[in-house]
A and B are shown apart, each in its own frame.
Chain A
């Protein structure tokens, strides 16, 4: 099989991204993740297989349509109750269904997250932004899920992207075997990586795994790939990790390495919350709100000071 024919499970390709690496970028989100962060804004990216989602707001109703109520849709996956027209979903049955179910729905109320794509297919879509990379210094960013959980695909994709003159970046949480990370990093210009929490126990509590392997991977990556640029990031969750102590610990970890060029804070937002419902999942952080502007500014000032530059706004 040629490298361009290698397949990966792709969640989404998002154009005109400006927050994940330099310039105007195209983000390729891969499915499957080895963490379960409670604040995750892409819950559709976590599972290893394609997943059905249902957005009832888009359903045009059983009377006008009703296609998901009869064969070939699995019996009982969707149903209507007396006095209602919008269909309801039975997740236990719907989860088992495949992509055909989504194809049935004319209104896009039922959709499928995750599709198998080749390197070439992905790059064809990515290359639509080629002229914008040239002007902005942008390129492709592999994200997820955890893009390093599909190491063969990610490596092949990024190697081919570079062959086509596209600059490469990945965004990773680092919770993978070192060999996976190493394999991909050979083809990466910029690695964005998350320092979610300092304390291993709390790390496990909030993300499902402790951070010892993650930190070991990061350190090894800094040392093994001196020409790669690293950007550390923390999704700032109020009451979880928005404290000075965490920020200083991350700085202590990264500052000895000259190729870690930046440390960015990504304030928590709730934009992903509604997606939990579409997937039949529960969002646990109902009562959380974005961090206060003052907190953000104070912590950013600490980082700026450490990097010896004016605080970012």
Chain B
């Protein structure tokens, strides 16, 4: 056995240790100044202009159909909002006037709970996870926004509309509680307008909003049926207004740029500003003519979508594919070089890095720590002819992200059997920087998934990332209703505590299957677990159907809908997808969190109570009830029992069976038009709040401790290394259902494990094998444990330390102490 010599550092660690300004690669002074400005600003601040202008517009247009109200609010925003262009900016547009992170709040979504959120953030002052809410901001929220939206917002009405039993499962015994979820069953629709979404930005680039407007005008002129006056007319009018709004907004920036150019002392900056003015006069109204225009148009697209609504996760689509023609044409004409393209990309990334997702709902905030907003850029993969799609921009996009310690945008590389070694090598070098991205998604899994759900092969080949492990076909999928979920930890607790939950004061919550002491075989344990799982699962579906039914009365999204083929064909807002768009794929998601916690708990019981008889039921149940206090020997036995992730066939098989129960259930209860409910096992950071409400579990876990994340093994329990872990995880997945949606794997390596060229090759081999094993997703944390411990002690020095959470990266210092501990627990010791 030989081990590496000196402790190696990732590029990120090196940069922090040496105080270097950037990691790998050159950056311009401009980019560095912007970066420093943003990082120096501190915590994100709420940006309130949008909600205030929206609220005004909503008051003023109370009688209009919802979609038109939304469009008028967008128009009002475009006309009245502050226009700010900051020094050094090349890609312009921001919904506030500071250089630094910002997050929007959306009172129509959860206006009634906003004061509670403000309280929470104000209490958090100076602590991790801080958000800046000034006195003035708090006043606006509490005195302007909430009074109007109280009782009118979606979230509170969602809770009130739920059937009582489902409401109880989601919000517990208190019928007046509209904020704190039980975290046993969860809904995410009260936290965002939309499920993860990727708008089809190519339409803005290739057609410009003028052509979209003209299309809407033509359709409007040809409406002949009387009923169309009710449904299609307002939608088309809303599209026209939205297109006008986008044009108005960009023109105001053009005017601002010209004004600033006139006043600029530096002639070079003056020229830049005049260029910016010309670009903003042209896009997004017209098709982009250059790479710079295309990038600016893309930013208009994403920003306007974000002003319209939040999906908490806006995919950016396959940027290497749709930006390539512009870059190539500019290169050929000598209008651009690689360095300039890098700088433009970096300006875009810096803009995106300032966007945060501020959740005013405490459960949502705990479940999405680090302000994740998943602005995912997708590169690589195959084109719709089935050939490898890698091009120069695939490399350039990854390269442009390397010098900066940003958490956003996140990048996703699509891996397939034909991914060139040269590109994979480049990808691995970027992963080795240690910031957790790019993450990898597997064509070999996702394409069959889409085929099973009704896409054509050509369509399936063109999928893109949207959210942490989710994917989208932007013109076929219509499901914009955010999904629900279930806590495997609670299911486990209820199995051994007769359907009761400690955190809910032992009221009867699940099924009472009797005292486990009477169970004489593991089959009875399994049946009890299955029973609790199937007892909760229907409520996830019920709340989902309710969300889909309610949403059209609360949300509209003309800017998103006008970029969708099916919405434009039927002249109907995407939020009405519950009524079915002909030809759509309209699945919903069913999240399940804490898989390994459940597997390991069941395995410990099987091993200790039945197979080896090392523990009696009484010993185990007494120890659990006492949260192991005074029962350390019992706990050690449970910790030492066989664990998932170590290639033990019978243990992994429990995981497979658990998936099969849920997949079978979902398969038997499809949505209308035979659309699928998808099982997803992606934690974001929900495994932390879900763990908080879960009592001690037979895997040796303490009450309140985080659950396992994604479909990874429990923290530190996969002791046989990454190869066995990957094979084990594969064995515990059931890929045979169309309902099998995304799942997440975290892998950890110390930098020494992957040092040098040999280390790069090793990681490439692991990735190839991961793809062959038909996994869905994988991401890597490559960092020394000692670095994280040091960062806990000295947050100032480690201000910019980026770590991987779940399908996204975050600044370590933005995380709660519990989440920090969780990251440390999942991090490898150096060899």
Contacts and interface: CB of A to CB of B under 8 A. Distances in A.
Interface of A: 14-20, 23-24, 27, 29, 41-42, 60-61, 64-65, 67, 106-108, 125, 128-129, 131-132, 134-136, 143, 266-267, 269, 271, 290, 293, 313
Contact of A67 (B630, B633, B728): B633
Contact of A16 (B3, B637, B721, B756): B721
List 10 A-B pairs, minimum CB-CB distance, nearest first: A16-B721, A136-B765, A107-B636, A106-B636, A64-B632, A65-B633, A128-B647, A106-B637, A15-B721, A135-B768
Interface string B1-44: 11101000000000000000000000000000000000000000
Contacts of A290: 5
Given A64-B632, A106-B637, A132-B723, A20 B2 contact: yes
Nearest to A64: B632
A135 B769 CA distance: 6
Nearest to A125: B647
B640 A132 contact: no
Contact of B1 (A14, A16, A64, A132): A14
Contact of A313 (B636, B722, B756, B773): B756
B263 interface: no
Given A128-B647, A131-B727, A290-B5, A64 B766 contact: no
B769 A134 contact: yes
B633 A16 contact: no
Contacts of B794: none
Contact of A15 (B630, B632, B723, B758): B723
A18 B763 CA distance: 11
Interface string B701-741: 00000000000000000001111100110000000000000
B506 to A, nearest CB: 27
Contacts of A18: 758, 762
19 contacts: A15-B720, A15-B721, A15-B723, A16-B720, A16-B724, A19-B2, A61-B632, A107-B633, A107-B636, A107-B640, A128-B720, A131-B727, A131-B769, A131-B772, A131-B773, A135-B768, A135-B772, A136-B769, A267-B5
A165 B761 CA distance: 22
A96 B774 CA distance: 49
Contacts of B768: 135
A60 B772 contact: no
Given A129-B727, A134-B769, A135-B765, 4 more contacts: A15-B720, A16-B720, A106-B634, A129-B723
Contacts of A23: 765
A108 B633 CA distance: 11
A27 B3 CA distance: 14
A106 B620 CA distance: 14
Contacts of A16: 720-724
Contacts of A27: 1
Interface string B742-777: 000000000000001010011001101100110000
A131 B774 CA distance: 12
A240 to B, nearest CB: 17
A65 B769 contact: no
B2 A266 contact: yes
Contacts of A61: 632
B560 to A, nearest CB: 41
Nearest to B772: A131
A134 B769 CA distance: 8
A302 B3 CA distance: 22
Contacts of A108: 636, 640
Interface string B532-547: 0000000000000000
Contacts of B647: 125, 128
B723 A106 contact: no
B613 to A, nearest CB: 13
Contacts of A143: 1
A136 B640 CA distance: 32
Contacts of B5: 267, 269, 290, 293
Contact of A106 (B1, B640, B722, B772): B640
Given A266-B2, A269-B3, A24 B636 contact: no
B724 to A, nearest CB: 5
Contacts of B766: 24, 132, 135
A33 B231 CA distance: 84
Nearest to A272: B1
A16 B637 CA distance: 27
A106 B765 contact: no
Given A16-B721, A106-B637, A132-B723, A24 B762 contact: yes
B764 to A, nearest CB: 8
B640 A271 contact: no
Q: Which of A16, A19, A20 has the most CB of B within 10 A?
A: A16
Given A107-B636, A108-B636, A129-B723, A41 B1 contact: yes
Nearest to B755: A313
A292 B191 CA distance: 57
B359 to A, nearest CB: 39
A80 B1 CA distance: 35
B529 to A, nearest CB: 25
A55 to B, nearest CB: 13
Contacts of A267: 5
Interface in B627-644: 630, 632-634, 636-637, 640
Contact of B724 (A17, A107, A129, A136): A129
Q: Which of A19, A41, A132 has the most CB of B within 10 A?
A: A132
Nearest to A291: B5
A60 B721 CA distance: 26
Interface in B772-797: 772-773
Nearest to A131: B769
Contacts of A131: 727, 769, 772-773
A128 B3 contact: no
Nearest to A17: B1
A92 to B, nearest CB: 26
A266 B647 CA distance: 31
A108 B700 CA distance: 14
Q: Which of A128, A143, A290 has the most CB of B within 10 A?
A: A128
B798 to A, nearest CB: 28
Nearest to B634: A106
A17 B721 CA distance: 9
Contacts of A313: 756
B724 A15 contact: yes
Q: Which of A61, A65, A106, A271 has the most CB of B within 10 A?
A: A106
B2 A132 contact: no
A65 B321 CA distance: 63
A156 B766 CA distance: 29
Contacts of B728: 128
Contact of A271 (B3, B636, B756, B765): B3
B336 to A, nearest CB: 37
A53 to B, nearest CB: 15
Nearest to B614: A106
Contacts of A41: 1
Contacts of B761: 136
Contacts of B3: 19, 269, 271
A42 B1 contact: yes
Contacts of B636: 60, 65, 106-108
A46 to B, nearest CB: 14
Nearest to B630: A64
A24 B2 contact: no
A14 B632 CA distance: 29
A27 to B, nearest CB: 7
Contacts of A29: 1
B632 A60 contact: yes
A42 to B, nearest CB: 6
B213 to A, nearest CB: 52
A156 B758 CA distance: 32
Contacts of A134: 769, 772
Contacts of B640: 106-108
A107 B724 CA distance: 24
Given A106-B637, A128-B647, A24 B765 contact: yes
